[in-house]
Chains A and B, each alone.
Chain A
């Protein structure tokens, strides 16, 4: 198999990000400069985003058996690169005062983004594993990054090791499942999955189910779906906020796109036991995530548990995609992922601009009176929380609307009932944070007073708020984009 120049063109976003990482690495070798490394990273990611946007209308090509570059993968390439860029801007101010070498964080972030782009473009087990491991390996480093900081009160190393060990175990599950599939079909392409023996009582049938369940379990771990969610709150809490944001948004979105392609292409839901398994996981995630979040006082832990619930909502739409005739359920997954990424980035972004690597403000007590002290920042945070709760005017509501519609179309009444229950419980802990911000301040909390370096971080929040309201009030353009892209799945 030879690659021609024509094959390289659709890979432009990937190549740009790769070149960015090389350039950033060389730059660090020549002369350490925080601002220059950050600028290279941000510019590179921006360029990749813009190139991916320009390619979206015309490109639909399988590049080698490993990567598919179609409108859907490009849509998520845009999402991944743009989010990575925004996180890079947030981390610039967050790590500004770190008492250690700061430049390599951007290197890790760029390499993680390469992994994420490969994942969203993959329709082959090899590229899935390559992308997944590239992403995870970089994340271990990002999570442990401030470990030499003397004042860091958190446990980045503990979080990193925890994530490393458990994530490696989950990868083991995925690989073993793939091996079982390979043993039967002889290839590693997703498309071969349709050849899996499905006849009842044959040995192959049971192999297939075990293989599919193992892969799904491994992916469910990475998505922190119940009952594979145990690591989530600890890792979220121990990581520096930009790394948490990366893990929570890009890490989850990329993994979900792989899961979606895998389930759709393999038609894995034609096994009844797979439907049952996913239904139970979805219901358990919605309940566990929302119930356990009630008991938390730490913002990062609350968002960790709420992310478990949100992944459960997404899984509902994934199950619905099996019953629905059109692409509506796929659109629901797609739109909800976009909404979730925007909203989570905003929520972590607010925590990030008032924190630094030396002192994080992540207890909900720290937000008391924020509304009266800094109304704009608090309004952004309230908007993000209401979006997570799915209240109108925000993108989160349109996302919920999609999920509800997909569920209604597929007659998933039980899961919808759990969704209503879960969302009702969810309101309580989101409003708890909102109420803290509305209370009067007792004593002045020593937030980080941003210098020039945090101006851009506020810019990021403004962009996210704009997108949140735009997609919440006038979603028609993004809806048609999502509908067009979803036709490729």
Chain B
């Protein structure tokens, strides 16, 4: 029940925020923040709770469409709760970043923001594959509105591209879901879309591979991984700051979550056959997108490409499919969620102040805005994998686990860490060091970070330092889920090996 409450608070909070705009254009943001903070507090009570025998901390199962065995099945385990907390935390941060930036049509903006978050929480908790797909699509539409209405100069193109990419690959996943449900029908005589039931379906390996690919394409588009990544730089550079925060911090993680929860456990055999290809795609993402990032002059596009590069470590870790690699993938998801969100907020903040994203026009900002520059330096070194911060732990564990699975690809992937240092430091050098010149833009609004901004950047810094210094506290939360998933697939693979 508590999961329904969490989602409803966001749904109804969104409606309320929209309606309240009629009274005062400042009400929506207050209502939105209240809703998200309440959600966050409720979620914290679930954090670290004991999963019990069923493996789920909380669970709700109600009939929805009995004709096809579709149920309204929500459940959360350690991994889901961790992802939900990340979602709500970044949701609150996103509202903070939109606080002054969004001045037009505020009601509808916060409505969309909250509905996106509600959809994401649905994705992280749905255990019925129909319901999962339902939420998967529901989170798209409000995001489309956020980019299409409050975006920048080329918003129509970016929003359309984002929508079509995710929707078309989503349809492929729908076909796969239906095929799986139909196999269940053939084997057991009744339709079911329930995760637990579908785990028991045996499929012939030729078909299994095709069905698995349907899932993989949808998830790796969202992740995104090479070659389905091209929507991301457009979407990020055009989205308003809050949109970028949600997109980079949360939406991308749904792709990784889908791979861990559904794609591999449902098709362990096909996934293990496919793993070398997936890991190769991951390595290409890491290296190629790092290279492309280095060639950008638009600061938001640059951060977008680095996102693809870092998410490559997640993909690598997932398909290595052992405990360390998965722990690393989850840790990278959390740490990258914070660091990428922070970097997008800094880029958005700069754009808000000087109305350009072009780095060729920037330089020497350290003297002008020291606090902003320091924060940017902090998150850049976090992103490049400085030991002591969360990203390092995640990427190190992912590489350590992947080393057991595939040495060659892991060695190649490790070069990504070096490239990350190159482009990160290059950005810092270019934007914050050197001589200050203001001939290219109007710097009358170039103010340093306000106290509100320092507050949420501070919170994110603490998060990253905590992850880096005491990672065990996070690893413990997802460990239960990961060992259970590994056991289940291990049994299937063992049976096949026999």
A392–B70 CA distance with the chains assembled, in angstroms: 15
Residues B156 and A435 in contact, CB atoms below 8 Å apart: yes
- B182 and A431 form a contact (CB under 8 A): no
Task: Output the least CB separation between A184 and chain B (Å).
Answer: 39
How far is A386 from B140 in the complex, measured between Cα atoms in Å? 12
Q: Counting CB contacts under 8 A, is B445 at the interface?
A: no
Please tell me if the beta carbons of B168 and A424 are within 8 angstroms of each other in the complex: yes
- The segment from A106-114, A220-228, A400-408 found at the interface with B is A400-408
**A408/B178 in contact, CB under 8 A:** yes
A463-480: which have CB < 8 Å to B? Answer: 474-476, 479-480
Q: Report whether B105 and A479 are in contact in the complex, using a CB–CB cutoff of 8 Å.
A: no
| Cα distance, A409 to B178, chains bound together (Å) | 9
A416: CB under 8 A from chain B? yes
Asked whether any CB of chain B lies closer than 8 Å to the CB of A420, the reply is: yes
A476 near B137 (CB under 8 angstroms)?
no
Give residues of chain B (342-383) contacting chain A, Cβ–Cβ below 8 Å. none
Report B-chain residues with C-beta under 8 Å of the C-beta of A420.
Answer: 168, 171-172, 175
Contact of B47 with A by CB under 8 A: no
16 contacts between A and B (CB under 8 A): A392-B137, A392-B138, A397-B137, A401-B130, A401-B174, A405-B181, A408-B178, A420-B172, A427-B163, A428-B160, A431-B164, A435-B159, A435-B160, A476-B64, A479-B67, A483-B67
The answer to whether B67 touches A480 (Cβ under 8 A) is: yes
- CA A2 to CA B156, docked complex, whole Å: 66
What CA separation (Å) do A391 and B172 show in the bound complex?
14
Please state if A431 and B163 are interface contacts (CB–CB under 8 Å): yes
Q: Which residues on the A side are within 8 Å of B159 (C-beta)?
A: 431, 435
From residue A469, how far is it (CB to closest CB) to chain B in Å?
13
In the complex, which of the residues B140, B168, B175 contacts A404, with contact meaning CB atoms closer than 8 Å?
B175
| B167 x A424 contact (CB < 8 A) | yes
Seen from chain B, the residues whose Cβ lies within 8 Å of a Cβ on chain A are 63-68, 105, 130, 133-134, 137-138, 140-141, 144-145, 148-149, 156, 159-160, 163-164, 167-168, 171-172, 174-175, 178-179, 181-182
Whether the pair B65, A475 counts as a contact (CB closer than 8 A) is yes
Residue positions of A touching B, CB distance < 8 A: 372, 386, 391-393, 397, 401, 404-405, 408-409, 416, 420, 423-424, 427-428, 431, 434-435, 438, 474-476, 479-480, 483
Q: Provide the residues of chain A in CB contact with B156, threshold 8 Å.
A: 435
Contacts of B178 in A (CB 8 A): 401, 404-405, 408
Chain B at the A interface: mostly helix, strand, loop or mixed? helix
How close is A338's CB to chain B, nearest CB, in angstroms? 15
With A392-B133, A431-B160 given, is the CB distance from A372 to B105 under 8 Å? yes
The answer on a CB contact under 8 Å between B141 and A409 is no
Once the chains bind, are B172 and A392 in contact (CB under 8 Å)? no
Inter-chain CA distance A423–B174, complex, in Å, is 13
Q: List 6 tightest A-B contacts by C-beta distance, closest first.
A: A424-B168, A392-B137, A479-B67, A408-B178, A420-B171, A392-B134
Which residue of the partner chain A has the closest CB to B165? Answer: A424
A428 to B163, CA, bound (A): 9
Bound-state CA distance A476–B69 (Å) is 11
A438 and B202 CA atoms in complex are apart in Å by 47
Q: Known contacts A392-B134, A408-B179, A423-B171: does B141 contact A386 (CB below 8 Å)?
A: yes
- Inside 8 A of B130's CB, which chain A residues have their CB? 401
Given contacts A423-B168, A431-B163, 10 further A-B contacts (CB under 8 A): A401-B178, A404-B171, A408-B175, A408-B182, A420-B171, A420-B175, A427-B167, A428-B164, A431-B159, A431-B164
CB atoms of B138 and A393 under 8 A apart? yes
Interchain CA distance A362-B68 in the complex, whole Å: 40
Question: Once the chains are docked, how many angstroms separate the CA of A409 from the CA of B179?
Answer: 8
Given A424-B168, A475-B65: A416 touches B163 (CB 8 Å cut-off):
no
Minimum Cβ distance to chain B for residue A489 (Å): 17
Instruction: Please give, as numbers and ranges, the residues of chain B lying within 8 Å of A416 by CB-CB distance.
Output: 175
Measured in the bound complex, the distance between the Cα atoms of B182 and A372 in whole Å is: 45
Bound: A439/B436 CA distance, A: 38
The chain B residue with its CB closest to the CB of A483 is: B67
Question: Which of B138, B141, B145, B171: most chain A Cβ within 10 A?
Answer: B171
A435 / chain B contacts, CB cutoff of 8 Å: 148, 156, 159-160
Residues from chain B with a CB closer than 8 A to the CB of A401 are 130, 174, 178
Closest A residue to B64 by beta carbon equals A476
Q: How far is the CA of A302 from the CA of B241 in the complex (A)?
A: 34
The answer to whether A424 touches B164, judged by C-beta atoms less than 8 angstroms apart, is: yes
Which residues of A sit under 8 angstroms from B105, Cβ to Cβ? 372
Chain A residues within 8 Å of B148, by CB: 434-435, 438
Give Cα A391–Cα B138 distance, bound, in whole angstroms: 8
CA separation between A438 and B145, bound complex, in Å?
8
CB–CB B182/A405 < 8 A: yes
In the complex, chain A residues whose CB is within 8 Å of the CB of B172 = 420
Chain B residues with Cβ below 8 Å from A393 are: 134, 138
Most buried by A among B63, B64, B68, B130: B68
A401→B177 CA distance, assembly (Å): 11
**Nearest residue, chain A, Cβ from B130:** A401
Q: How far is the CA of A420 from the CA of B179 in the complex (A)?
A: 15
Chain B residues within 8 Å of A405, by CB: 68, 178, 181-182
Contact of A438 among B66, B134, B149, B175 (CB under 8 A): B149
CB distance from A376 to the nearest CB of B (A): 12
Chain B nearest CB from A400 CB (Å) reads: 8
Residues of chain B within 8 A of A431, CB atoms compared: 144, 159-160, 163-164
Task: Tell me, rounded to whole Å, the shortest Cβ–Cβ distance linking A53 to chain B.
Answer: 21
Which of these, B67, B138, B141, B174, contacts A476 with CB under 8 Å? B67
Q: How far is the CA of A428 from the CA of B162 in the complex (A)?
A: 11
* B141 A391 Cβ-Cβ under 8 A: yes
User: What B residues does A438 contact at CB under 8 A?
Assistant: 145, 148-149
A90 → B minimal CB distance (Å): 27
A423 CA to B172 CA, complexed, in Å: 11
Min C-beta distance of A116 to chain B, whole Å: 28
CB contacts (< 8 Å) of A474 on chain B: these are: 64
Of all chain A residues, the one with the shortest Cβ separation from B105 is: A372
Supposing A392-B133, A392-B134, A424-B168 touch, asked if A476 and B66 sit within 8 A by C-beta, the answer is yes
B-chain residues with CB within 8 Å of residue A408 when the two chains form the complex: 175, 178-179, 182
| Minimum CB distance partner of A402 in chain B | B68
- In the bound complex, what is the Cα–Cα distance between A372 and B105 (angstroms)? 9
Report chain B residues within 8 Å CB of A475.
65
B-chain residues with CB within 8 Å of residue A428 when the two chains form the complex: 160, 164
In the complex, what residue of chain A is closest to B210 when comparing beta carbons? Answer: A413
The reply to whether B182 and A409 form a contact with Cβ atoms under 8 Å apart is yes
**A17 → chain B closest CB, angstroms:** 32
